[in-house]
Amino acid sequence: MSSINLNRRKFMQSTGAASIVAGAALQSPVSGKETSKGNPENIVKRLFDTLSDSQKKVVAFDWNHMDPNRGLLRTRIANNWHITKPTVNSNFFNDEQRDMIRMIYEGLLAPDWHAKFDKQQEDDTGGFGETNNIAIFGEPGSDQFEFVMTSRHLTLRADGNTTDHVAFGGPLFYGHDPHGTFNEEPDHDGNVFWEQAVAANNVYKLLDKEQRQEAEVAKTAREQAVAFRGAKGGIQGIAVKDLNDAQKAGVQKTLQSLVSMYRKSDQQEALECLQKQGGLDACHLAFYTDNDIGKDKVWDNWRLEGPAFVWHFRGAPHVHVWVNIADSPSVELNA
């Protein structure tokens, strides 16, 4: 066994994180949440404590750090960005720190999605850690801190529910260009996230002619436009509350497909935020008809939106997905 693997095993044993790496969910039998010893936030604290002063100057920030170009940095979201310069696999981090960053990444995702996200990273960035960057805001272990990971087609966050009102610690992004062609084929072969669009399109198939006309929108909304509309209206698509039971069940299945990628506690938080704003019955489902790859009426671009809930799936020319969820529409977007 190499010294790197030996160090990793010792660290995993000392933190209780081994079952995250092995792909087993760390669940509390009572709450369904990850156990405290192995959750990503505890590993963020351990990581922070190992950073030297020179490292902290680069990747650690005050909670409300304002970037002169990007605004409140911890809330920023984009489809391809680097929150700091050092990459995870660079010599900026030591072996133990790289292992901890990997465990945080795995801990934020559902175990059965690890391989899918790794494929996305391999296809889009050359592999996990090759272009990923991290930043830590606030003091880990306090009542206000957040870890953010970025790269092409990926933004993940860990905040231990210390960020008021928002799910996931803030907006998320994921995407995939599996063959590096930029323009995907109609079947989106190899795209790890296309199954979510299949679930949404199965709802479309259940709609009658009049409902389809209501659900179809002629022009795709700007993908970055995922700020909350609140109660002011103007949300496009068909109202979920007007669907029949079978159609609503299809929307519920789509929602489950979306949130199931993430750890149980984040799934629960996202659904609780949605419920506070009226649940799925307060949402609309829109299918955009202007960028239909293959002209097959299998809609590549679609959106599930409520007063403080936006899940925007842009499948053309390749998959970009923007996620913004809170328990109040007053939360502002920084995109």
pLDDT band at 167 (very low <50, low <70, confident <90, very high): very high
Q: What average pLDDT does range 151-169 have in this prediction?
A: 93
**94 shares a domain with 222:** no
pTM above 0.85, yes or no: yes
Share the mean pLDDT of the chain.
90
**311 shares a domain with 218:** yes
**Considering its fold, how many domains does the chain have in total?**
2
Looking at residue 163, what is its pLDDT? 84
**148 shares a domain with 203:** no
Q: What average pLDDT does range 281-296 have in this prediction?
A: 98
Question: Range with the lowest mean pLDDT among 118-122, 129-133, 162-166?
Answer: 162-166
Work out the number of other CB atoms within 10 angstroms of the CB of residue 222: 10
**219 shares a domain with 137:** no
**307 shares a domain with 211:** yes
Inside any domain, residue 275: yes
Give the pLDDT confidence of 216-270 residue by residue, as tens digits. Answer: 999 999 999 999 999 888 899 999 999 999 999 999 999 999 999 999 999 999 9
**249 shares a domain with 136:** no
Looking at residue 38, what is its pLDDT? 65
Inside any domain, residue 177: no
Inside any domain, residue 189: no
Sequence-distant (6+) residues with CB within 8 A of 152 are 79, 80, 124, 125, 131, 175
pLDDT band at 10 (very low <50, low <70, confident <90, very high): very low
Q: Domain end: 107, 140, 163, which one?
A: 163
Give the pLDDT confidence of 45-84 residue by residue, as tens digits. Answer: 999 999 999 999 999 999 999 999 999 999 999 999 999 9
The range of the structural domain enclosing residue 31 comes to 3-163
**145 shares a domain with 44:** yes
Give the pLDDT confidence of 16-54 residue by residue, as tens digits. Answer: 333 323 222 323 222 334 544 569 999 999 999 999 999
Q: What share of the chain is helix, strand, coil (3-state, %, to 5)?
A: 40, 20, 40
